[in-house]
Structure 1
Amino acid sequence: MVIHSYRHRYGLVEGDPRYQGPEDLIAAQPPVSVPTVVLESGADGVGGPSAAEDRDCFTGPYEHRLLLGVGHNVPQEVPAAFADAVAGLLTR
């Protein structure tokens, strides 16, 4: 199950046809127009393609921050960077 999930996530295999309807609804969502800060961990080891590739999904104020050497749990590993990102959104 887990292996298939990752294969599907990377477009290597088809998903379960029972979920195609919800997949289509999610894919048809409008762009995100609210202020956004994307924190991408540079040493995640779990994620897929760079979050920078999703830039076209956001039409509002947008910032992409690559956190080199940070793993999968950004708030735990670099709480100050995480808090700074959240605080920055609150002041916009």
Structure 2
Amino acid sequence: MIAAPTITLEGDANGAPHPPENSYAKFFSGKYVHRTITGGIGHNLPQEAPKAFADAVIEVAGYAK
């Protein structure tokens, strides 16, 4: 179980099967959010979707306050 607050990100064009978003939740006991980033985003979210990636980092950092 992962207790740390977590946001998972997945690109809509990563080429891998996308399990249902709620299938990840069972692995987290802390605050958890999953987001699928749309717009042809692959595996390299920091490069392909830098704003969505940075927003998630800033958001999860705020959970610790």
Both proteins in one fold, TM over 0.5:
yes
| Higher strand fraction (1 or 2) | 2
Identity of aligned residues (%): 41
Structure number, greater radius of gyration: 1
Alignment of 1:40 with 2:10, yes or no, is yes
Unaligned runs of 5+ in 1: 1-30
Q: Which runs of 4+ in 1 moved over 6 A?
A: none
| Higher helix fraction (1 or 2) | 1
Give the Å deviation of 1:40.
Answer: 0.9
Name the count of aligned residue pairs: 61
Alignment of 1:89 with 2:60, yes or no, is yes
Unaligned runs of 5+ in 2: none
Q: Quote the Cα distance in structure 1 between the aligned partners of 2:52 and 2:37.
A: 9
Task: Give the CA RMSD over aligned residues.
Answer: 1.4
Over residues 25-58 of structure 1, what are the superposed CA-to-partner deviations in whole Å (9 max), with x where a residue is unaligned? xxxxxx101100000111101x344272221001
Find the residue that maps to 1:91 and give its secondary structure.
helix
What's the TM-score, normalizing by structure 2? 0.82
Q: Quote the Cα distance in structure 1 between the aligned partners of 2:52 and 2:18.
A: 22
Larger relative contact order, structure 1 or 2 (CA cutoff 8 Å, min sep 6)? 2
